[in-house]
Structure 1
Amino acid sequence: MTDLTTPGDYLAAMRAQAPLVQCITNYVAMNIAANSLLAAGASPAMVHAAEEAGDFARFAAALTINIGTLSPAWMDGMTVAARNARAAGVPWVFDPVAHFATAYRRQTTETLMALRPDIIRGNASEILALAGGESAAKGVDARDPVHAAEDAARQLAGERGAVVAVTGETDFVTDGTRALRISGGSPLMPKVTALGCSLTCLIGAYAGVKGADLFDATAAALSHFAVAGAHAEVKAKGPGSFSVHFLDQLAALDGAGLDAADRREVA
């Protein structure tokens, strides 16, 4: 296989391999997340029950966990899946949705963080709070700009040994040493439910590529999402048509097109 050096290389490899991604995500996100992965070229599996989630995590290419709609039964599935993924060397991605909002979410997040996610993706408010800082948010929406969370992301990445992605108008990703900003996307994206949750699953698909560097893989997934969003906005008349065009653009982009439109810069 060609060396993985650019987002386009990762996209081509991801499509060639169609990695199986176990997505434990919320009720709101399941459909759009699965469709996003299919459009991008990966294979989603929405397996969350504790009775099978742990077994599944051992042979998936990657695992993603999103705590958007929590319940004790789902928490059992998340825990066993994360534990088994870690034991099997399967990369797993954590999306700590509004983890600061309630005591139950805080406890759940502490439990999952102790299982050492390889990649953490959140909005600026979530990452700020996860790193122990002050956030202006009270629920799932970010109330803080991405640039305000960059230092917190670097700190969190260094402390946890994870890649941390802060997503928003301009995304930021770091492994504590390297860092990139990725621009693009569209103002229509926050008006479509669960696109951020879908991005978490797409990061899992890129992380599941054989031989992936998780920092580069995360940046490639962010680039794919951002470029598809920018292209979809040109064709859309509003949030409804945007969601359709966005799936089309996730599928339409190829490696050369992604590299040509890539807007990464070293941070």
Structure 2
Amino acid sequence: MDPNHDKNQVQKTRAEYGRDAWTHLSQLRRLSPLIQCITNFVSMDLTANVLLSAGASPAMLHGIDEISDFTPNVNAVYINVGTLSADWLPAMKAAAELASKFNKPWVLDPVAAGASGFRLKACLELVDLKPTVIRGNGSEIIALSNASVGHTKGVDSSHQSTDALEAAKSLAKASGGIVAISGAVDIITDGDRVVGARNGVPMLQKITATGCAVTALISAFVAIDPSHPMEATASALSVFGLAGEMGMEQAKGPASLRMHLIDSLHGLDETALVSRSNITNLS
């Protein structure tokens, strides 16, 4: 992968981003990439169902004894530290190292990165292994960029995505990867370019593991377009947010939104995605 490939591209229009999102989703459905998910206990169910409904093939495999045989054969690795323990960290590191060795993209979700010294140290060690994409909320990205504890309120963010823009740019340049910040506007940057994805509904925040699930979806999109991780990340965020919008049109609350989110993601078609996807350049 050329790390400067995305940086050298001419900025796209909203319509072009929408067509890219459909291309990514249709390729995902056709190719059904195998995504290894080392994720937390709370998110496993929703993560697997989101990947399946989008067209990917999830493998919820986190045992270190299987990593050496399995990871080289996947299309991407997704690592989420939500229910982190000392027992899981070696497997996370081994999977990240093998993904890099075999030129497979891997994506990091640094859940509550600033909540404790142990968690922050683990996340920084994973960042040193060069994830293709880091996706977190504003507080998590600030904690990683500043390498400091205390910026997070559990798994919730104390900051808007826009508050973390400069931290995200700095982290992207330091890590060599794409950094995405979730919020009212999802912000994606490679350290220079900045893109915003504005699809989604506030009630998604009332469903546990939606952030974890969208990071897994990013892994699947990057798996089918590893040469354009920034565009793939923006597409994934827009697709997930739009599925939330469409699900909200039928939902009565968080529980029914969860169901309709999965259904909407499965049934999302070209007309709806191209017309309603809202990805724009912010710089």
Q: Shorter-chain TM-score: what band?
A: over 0.9
State the 1:138 CA deviation. Answer: 3.1
**Equivalent residues in 2 for 1:83-232, closer than 5 Å:** 83-132=97-146, 136-210=151-225, 212-232=227-247
Q: Which residue of 2 aligns with 1:235?
A: 250
State the 1:128 CA deviation. Answer: 1.1
CA distances 1:190-213 after superposition (whole Å, capped 9, x unpaired): 100101000110000001105541
Report which stretch shifted further, 76-85 or 209-218. 209-218
Task: Work out whether residues 221 and 236 of structure 2, in 8 Å CA contact, stay in contact via their aligned partners in 1.
Answer: yes
16, 23, 35: which is aligned to 1:21? 35
Task: Work out whether residues 37 and 44 of structure 1, in 8 Å CA contact, stay in contact via their aligned partners in 2.
Answer: yes
Q: Which residue of 1 aligns with 2:13?
A: none
CA distances 1:167-212 after superposition (whole Å, capped 9, x unpaired): 0111000111221111121111010010100011000000110554
Q: Please give the alpha-carbon distance, in whole angstroms, between the structure 2 residues aligned to 1:46 and 1:54.
A: 15
Which amino acid in 2 is paired with 1:219?
A
Which amino acid in 1 is paired with 2:114?
F
Name the SS for the 2:249 alignment partner: helix
Task: Work out whether residues 7 and 224 of structure 1, in 8 Å CA contact, stay in contact via their aligned partners in 2.
Answer: yes
Q: Please give the alpha-carbon distance, in whole angstroms, between the structure 2 residues aligned to 1:54 and 1:99.
A: 27
How many residue pairs match? The answer is 264
> Which structure 1 segments of 5+ residues have no match?
none
Identity among equivalent positions (%) equals 41
Task: Work out whether residues 65 and 78 of structure 1, in 8 Å CA contact, stay in contact via their aligned partners in 2.
Answer: yes
User: What is the alpha-carbon root mean square deviation over aligned residues?
Assistant: 1.5
Task: Work out whether residues 197 and 279 of structure 2, in 8 Å CA contact, stay in contact via their aligned partners in 1.
Answer: yes
Name the SS for the 1:94 alignment partner: strand
Which amino acid in 1 is paired with 2:195?
L
> Which structure 2 segments of 5+ residues have no match?
1-16
State the 1:158 CA deviation. Answer: 1.4
**Equivalent residues in 2 for 1:236-251, closer than 5 Å:** 236-251=251-266
Q: Please give the alpha-carbon distance, in whole angstroms, between the structure 1 residues aligned to 2:131 and 2:26.
A: 25
Q: Please give the alpha-carbon distance, in whole angstroms, between the structure 2 residues aligned to 1:213 and 1:244.
A: 31
Name the SS for the 1:188 alignment partner: helix
State the 1:256 CA deviation. Answer: 3.6
57, 66, 70: which is aligned to 1:56? 70
Runs of 4+ with deviation above 4 angstroms: 133-136
- Normalising to structure 2: TM-score of the pair? 0.90
Q: Please give the alpha-carbon distance, in whole angstroms, between the structure 2 residues aligned to 1:123 and 1:39.
A: 24
